[in-house]
Amino acid sequence: MTQTTERPSGGLTQRGRGAGADRAFWIACLLAGILVLAILALILITTLREAWPALTYSGLDFITSDHWVTNDPDGDGPRQPEFGALAFIYGTLTVSAISLVVAVPVSIGIALFLTELAPRRLRSAVVTVIDLLAAVPSVVFGLWGIIVVAPALVKVYRWVHDTFGGVPGVGSIFGEPVSSGRSFMTAGLIVAIMIIPIVTSITREVFATVPESEKHAALALGATRWEMIKGAVFPHSFGGMVGAVMLGLGRALGETIAVALTIGAATQITPNIFASGNAMPAVIVQQWGESGGVHTAALVGLGVVLFAVTVVVNYLARFVVRRAEIRMKGIAA
């Protein structure tokens, strides 16, 4: 090889032109990735700091008391504002429970339809419907809920109350319906509609991982379609279904606007699902405008509780889904 003096030695591993840009690009990408972790940490730190006055003011009462008195009841008198969020925690759990009871069987049904039953042409139509359901903003469901659904359901509630209200035990659940129809039940139904898409899409993914060979084997042994689902699909996808339900739960716990509109804004703990109540996220958005001082801090405190609970629920859900998927693929391989 002849020595060329003009040209710098062009080794393939040169650290020359462009190495800086390469490094800068890498750092930019890394920072953008770390941003996610930073935001999650910042959420916890900043909101906790802001809520601290209310949390120290109320102490453990914040989650064990159901007295939520935002304004000083008698001026400079002996009684003080109180911030006990138990009623809202109860409301959030009740609404989420109702929505899961409604949404989970429906979602599993739709997922089964899509994976096992649907004719090819219908399948894409159903997927579109589910996608559209997910695309409708929650405030639109809330508007529909408060104007159309709540008044329409009062009659149904009354009928259920008259029919089952006397049954001992169950009767107290179906108590006297509130006249506006804005109740735990209405909020739960609206939230159910909103979590159907997410639960459906995850269960569908899980069902899709069931090995075809097992399904065929079940059918070859003479099982009916349903027996095949029961014997081959469900046992395989149990873990994933649990994860899907938990993801739905995470969504239901945090649903704000639709619940704020349809739950009726009453601070009470009652087994009656036809009564008005309130939920944590709904309280924040309803009282935000007129809050100040410790009250604002208490509302931020509700947000902290909500954040902690949803992060834990979502983390567990992802964990369960991932583990189920790994196990499934292991078998399929």
Partner 1 sequence: MTTFAPPTPRTPAVPADLRRASLSRRRRLTDAVAKAAIWLALIVAVVPLALVTYYVILKGSGVMSWAFLTEPIPRSLRREGPGMGPAIIGTIVITGSAALIAIPLGVLGAIYLNEYGKQSPLARTIRTMSDVMTGVPSIVMGLFIYVGFVLLVHEQSGFAGALALACLMLPVVIRTSEEMLRLVPDELRQASMALGARKWRTTVSIVIPAALSGITSGALLAIARAAGETAPIVLVVGLTYKTNWSLFGGNTALPAQIFANASQPFEASVNRAWGAALTLVVIVLITTLIGRFIANRFAIKER
Tell me the one-letter amino acid at 171.
Answer: G
* Region near partner 1 per CB under 8 A, out of 19-27, 201-209, 267-275, 324-332: 19-27
Provide, rounded to whole angstroms, the least separation between the CB of residue 74 and partner 1.
29
* Residue 73-112 contact track with partner 1, rule CB under 8 A, x = bound: --------------------------------xxxxxx-x
180 close to 262: Cβ distance less than 8 angstroms: no
Q: What are phi and psi of 82, to 5 degrees?
A: -125, 145
| Residue 288 within binding range of partner 1, rule CB under 8 A | yes
| Residue 210 within binding range of partner 1, rule CB under 8 A | no
Alpha carbon 244 to chain centroid distance?
10
Candidate residues 143, 217, 219, 266; the one interacting with partner 1 per rule CB under 8 A? 143
Find the farthest-apart pair of alpha carbons in the chain and give their distance in angstroms, rounded.
103
* Region near partner 1 per CB under 8 A, out of 35-43, 55-63, 68-76, 204-212: 35-43
Provide, rounded to whole angstroms, the least separation between the CB of residue 83 and partner 1.
16
Residue with smaller CB distance to partner 1, 198 or 328: 198
Site residue total, partner 1 (CB under 8 A): 89
Residue with smaller CB distance to partner 1, 55 or 146: 146
Provide, rounded to whole angstroms, the least separation between the CB of residue 153 and partner 1.
13
**Looking only at residues 160 through 199 of this chain, which bind partner 1 when binding is defined by CB under 8 A?**
193, 196
DSSP state of 78: S
User: What is the C-alpha to C-alpha distance for residues 231 and 50, in angstroms, rounded to an integer?
Assistant: 52
User: What is the C-alpha to C-alpha distance for residues 151 and 157, in angstroms, rounded to an integer?
Assistant: 10
* Residue 214-233 contact track with partner 1, rule CB under 8 A, x = bound: --------x-xxxx-x----
Residue with smaller CB distance to partner 1, 100 or 260: 260
| Residue 237 within binding range of partner 1, rule CB under 8 A | no
User: What is the C-alpha to C-alpha distance for residues 309 and 303, in angstroms, rounded to an integer?
Assistant: 10
User: What is the C-alpha to C-alpha distance for residues 40 and 38, in angstroms, rounded to an integer?
Assistant: 5
Candidate residues 59, 79, 117, 155; the one interacting with partner 1 per rule CB under 8 A? 117
User: What is the C-alpha to C-alpha distance for residues 298 and 67, in angstroms, rounded to an integer?
Assistant: 13
Candidate residues 69, 86, 97, 126; the one interacting with partner 1 per rule CB under 8 A? 126
In order of 78, 130, 165, 323, the CA distances from 319 in angstroms are 50, 25, 41, 6
| Residue 124 within binding range of partner 1, rule CB under 8 A | no
Q: Is 190 helix (H, G, I), strand (E, B) or coil?
A: helix
Q: Which residues contact 228 (CB under 8 A, 6 or more apart)?
A: 116, 215, 218, 219
| Residue 294 within binding range of partner 1, rule CB under 8 A | no
